[in-house]
Amino acid sequence: MRYSMWAYPWDLQDLGLETSYDEYRNKAGVNSISLAVSYHAGRFLQPRSPYRKSYFPEDGTIYFTPEASRWRDQEIKPLVADNLHEKGDMLSALIRDRQKHGLAVSCWTVCLHNTRLGMQHPDHVTRNAFGDPSFYSLCPSSPAARSYVTTLIADLTHNYRPYMVELETVGFMGFDHGYHHEKDGVGLTPEDEFLLSLCFCKHCTQAATRSGVDATNTKILVKKLIEDAFAKETPSSQFPNFPEDGIAAFKGHPVLYDFLKWRSQPVTSLVESIRTAAHPDSKIVLIEGENAWRDGVDLKTIGKVCDGVILCAYSANPEAVSAVIKSTQRAIGADKYLGFGASAFYEHTKSKDELGQRVQAALTAGANGINFYNYGLIPESRLTWIKASIQGS
């Protein structure tokens, strides 16, 4: 059974590798480490760092050394974080020390969520029905964005050979993802936010049209639905069965429904491209939430082109965890890796027993492993919750 914990390079640097190895193995009781190797901006509370209590990483950078020859002709290129130059390549250290620390090494890789690259390459970001860009989201239909992510994973796996690569944000990102001091005076409903998340950039429009989907009239319809919502004095639902029915809630608008069914194609083909280009020794899995369909991720087709899924349900009760693990396993196939993402954040998990019940529910339902969130962001004493949840299983 695989038990891993997500971590950032600066966590290992601040706490020290030997301390981190000891805490992973003995305090948390896990047998794998999932290190962030491509990440976005944010503000991170660092309760255990001896050097700082909050950290602002560079936006949209990578934390490994790329192979220059792979990137020579790429339109979109990665930027190595200053952190790596100043404090060392933590991925190399983990790979080097594998026999000593006994932890399998996985690479937690943020793919299309990259505001820095989106600002540099506005022709390759998602755009809503009004043509407005979402700079934080490179589009999975963009050839340049696809090539960027595929090359990134090929570079990473061929030169470092991690056991697993965990792909985050490989689909379309939602309008409600959040940016910086977001303002909404309308009171968007869940379907309003979803409709604003649909991409009609030139790459999506061309690809959908080639597939026989009427993207032009879909865009006109979506604009009208959003404008109707904006015109209301107070918000109300136009699609009462959303989000429970998923994309089926839009069956009354066939042109939109067809577009939503097509929307998974660029995501699935991107994952297939990544798996083909990656070194065969590294497993390729997706990190997804309970509503992966919102991102254009069709778990049934994804299961055919990669090695598995880590399904995150941080606040779900044990019954809901069991249900979503079983449904995900049916979707991707019993032969694929199915991990469960559990959080030790207090906002998600209020006690050791609650975490243990969630983990037990996932394993009983058929999960092949657990990923815990997040090493450097929780108090040291809460690492024992993780160990207790594993021992209780």
The pLDDT, as a whole number, for residue 184 is 76
The answer to the question of residue 316 being in a domain is: yes
Predicted confidence (pLDDT) at residue 179 exceeds the cutoff of 80:
no
- Select from 214, 231, 262 the last residue of a domain: 262
The answer to the question of residue 349 being in a domain is: yes
Q: Where are the alpha helices (DSSP H) in 177-278?
A: 190-197, 202-210, 215-230, 254-262, 264-277
250 and 276 share one domain: no
DSSP codes, 279-290: -TTSEEEEEE-T
The pLDDT, as a whole number, for residue 180 is 65
The pLDDT, as a whole number, for residue 1 is 96
For 339, half-sphere exposure in the C-beta direction (CA atoms, 13 angstrom radius) is: 30
324 and 383 share one domain: yes
Predicted confidence (pLDDT) at residue 9 exceeds the cutoff of 80:
yes
User: Average pLDDT in the 50-56 region?
Assistant: 96
User: Average pLDDT in the 295-310 region?
Assistant: 97
Give the pLDDT band (50/70/90) at residue 24: very high
Cβ contact 204:141 at 8 Å? yes
CA distance linking residue 101 with residue 267, whole number of Å: 36
Q: Considering only CA atoms, which of 199, 290, 289, 198 is closest in space to residue 244?
A: 290
The answer to the question of residue 14 being in a domain is: yes
Predicted confidence (pLDDT) at residue 362 exceeds the cutoff of 70:
yes
Predicted confidence (pLDDT) at residue 259 exceeds the cutoff of 70:
yes
Query: Percent of the chain scored above 70 by pLDDT?
Result: 98
Give the pLDDT band (50/70/90) at residue 271: very high
Q: Considering only CA atoms, which of 2, 186, 183, 153 is closest in space to residue 70?
A: 153
- Select from 207, 231, 262 the last residue of a domain: 262
Give the pLDDT band (50/70/90) at residue 186: confident
Supply the range of the domain harboring residue 219: 182-262
The answer to the question of residue 99 being in a domain is: yes
- Backbone region of residue 42 per phi and psi (left: phi > 0; alpha: psi in -120 to 50; beta: other values): left
Long-range contacts of 93-97 (CB under 8 A, 24+ apart): 93/12, 93/17, 94/12, 94/33, 94/35, 95/160, 95/161, 95/162, 97/17, 97/21
The pLDDT, as a whole number, for residue 203 is 98
- Average confidence score pLDDT of the chain: 96
Predicted confidence (pLDDT) at residue 182 exceeds the cutoff of 80:
no
CA distance linking residue 302 with residue 30, whole number of Å: 28
CA distance linking residue 142 with residue 207, whole number of Å: 9
257 and 274 share one domain: no
38 and 164 share one domain: yes
193 and 249 share one domain: yes
The pLDDT, as a whole number, for residue 185 is 82
143 and 276 share one domain: yes
- Select from 209, 236, 262 the last residue of a domain: 262
188 and 165 share one domain: no
Domain count, the chain: 2
Token pair 């590294």: residue: 282
Whole-model pTM: value is 0.96
Helix (H, G, I), strand (E, B) or coil at 6: strand
215 and 280 share one domain: no
CA distance linking residue 160 with residue 153, whole number of Å: 10
Cβ contact 137:177 at 8 Å? yes
The answer to the question of residue 177 being in a domain is: no
371 and 234 share one domain: no
Give the pLDDT band (50/70/90) at residue 177: low
125 and 190 share one domain: no
CATH number, domain containing residue 42: 3.20.20.80
Give the pLDDT band (50/70/90) at residue 183: confident
Predicted confidence (pLDDT) at residue 90 exceeds the cutoff of 70:
yes
The answer to the question of residue 335 being in a domain is: yes
* Three-class DSSP labels, 200-220: CCHHHHHHHHHCCCCHHHHHH
User: Average pLDDT in the 94-112 region?
Assistant: 96
Cβ contact 288:310 at 8 Å? yes
DSSP codes, 124-160: GEEE-TT--EEEEEE-TT-HHHHHHHHHHHHHHHHHH
The pLDDT, as a whole number, for residue 297 is 97
Helix (H, G, I), strand (E, B) or coil at 61: strand
The answer to the question of residue 328 being in a domain is: yes
The model's pLDDT over 211-256, given as tens digits with 9 standing for 90+, comes to 999 999 999 999 999 999 999 999 999 998 999 999 999 999 999 9
Query: Percent of the chain scored above 90 by pLDDT?
Result: 95
CA distance linking residue 364 with residue 319, whole number of Å: 11
198 and 273 share one domain: no
Predicted confidence (pLDDT) at residue 181 exceeds the cutoff of 90:
no
Q: What is the DSSP letter of 58?
A: P
The answer to the question of residue 64 being in a domain is: yes
CA distance linking residue 148 with residue 150, whole number of Å: 6
102 and 138 share one domain: yes
Question: Which residue type, as a one-letter code, is found at position 210?
Answer: R
The pLDDT, as a whole number, for residue 393 is 58
